[in-house]
Every structure is written in C-alpha cells, then in structure tokens.
Amino acid sequence: MANGKFEKAAFAGGCFWCMVKPFKEWEGIEDVVSGYMGGHVVNPTYEDVKKGDSGHLEVVEITFDPALFTYEKLLELYWQQIDPTDAGGQFHDRGHSYTTAIFYYNENQKNAAEHSKEELANSGKFSKPIVTDIRPAETFYWAEEYHQDYYEKEQAHYEKDRAKSGRDEFIKEHWK
C-alpha cells in the first residue's frame, strides 16, 4: 500500500466470473469481489438477479490503491473486457443483469468515466454507439461465496464457460 488510502470502483461487464481475473493480479489492486448493484431488492440472491426480478447487475467491486493503480488504468482495463456496444447483455449471457455499467463513487470517477467513454466513442474502434451506462454507485451486495474467485475455485468449468462465451475472440479482435 503506497499511500494507505484505498478507493473502490465498481464495474458491470456481463458475467462477474469473467470480470474478476483481469483485475485481480495487478499491483495496487487489493481485492476484487463479485456481487450485485443497481437494483431495488435488498440482499438479492443470485437467483433473484439471474431471473431479472431484482433489477441488479452482476458487478465486480474493486478495492485499489490509486497511487499504484489509477482509476484511469482501471477504466482502460475495463473497456478491454467488454463489448460496450451491446445493450442486451454480454456475449452469450443475455438480459438486464448482464448489461454493462460503470458505477462511480465520486465526482472524479464520474468525470474520468465520462471522459474515457467519450474517447472510446471517438476512437473509431466501434461502428455502433457505446451504450455502457455511467451511474452513481449504490449499495453493493456480495454474491454468494461460491461465486467469489470462481475462476480459481472451479477452473475447468470457468475455462469451458469462458471459451464458449465468445468474449476472448471479441477481445482479441478489438483490442489485440
């Protein structure tokens, strides 16, 4: 910990299983937790979220030291994990709970997120509009324990699910 001051960031990028590993092993990232944000049900379960009854999105909440890993670097890494033009979900995971969003915890994060979205939109990388929402952070609910670090706990299932999702092919094609 460089300055002793951690911040939080929260990103929805489809299935939270696929959103943990890309952030987990960088210096300055203290923790990455799978959970739910943005809905109307208190203490939603995975089944509530998956059925679409709660209004929540699957998110990862990242605790980071901005002196070692800036919020802008988190945003850059985030965009490289998703299809920001897909309003119906991500890859083979469809529905509201799998849509993309950046949840900001303060005005600096909001401004940085809006700037990065505008830069991406103007980059010409995508021919369709960038539809990822930028929203104020709400109550974060931890997902059930079996979802935490799923890529490590259930490696074979994680790799099989990710392989059939189309996420890796999309990332390779758009972010090389």
Q: Report the distance separating Cα 44 and Cα 81, nearest Å.
A: 25
Q: Report the distance separating Cα 134 and Cα 10, nearest Å.
A: 11
Active-site residue, selected from the candidate residues 9, 15, 82, 143: 15
Residue 18 is among the residues annotated as catalytic for this protein: no
**Under a CB-based contact definition with an 8 Å cutoff, are residues 105 and 137 in contact?**
yes
**Under a CB-based contact definition with an 8 Å cutoff, are residues 82 and 54 in contact?**
no
**Under a CB-based contact definition with an 8 Å cutoff, are residues 39 and 54 in contact?**
yes
- DSSP class of residue 95 equals S
Where in the sequence numbering do the catalytic residues fall? 15
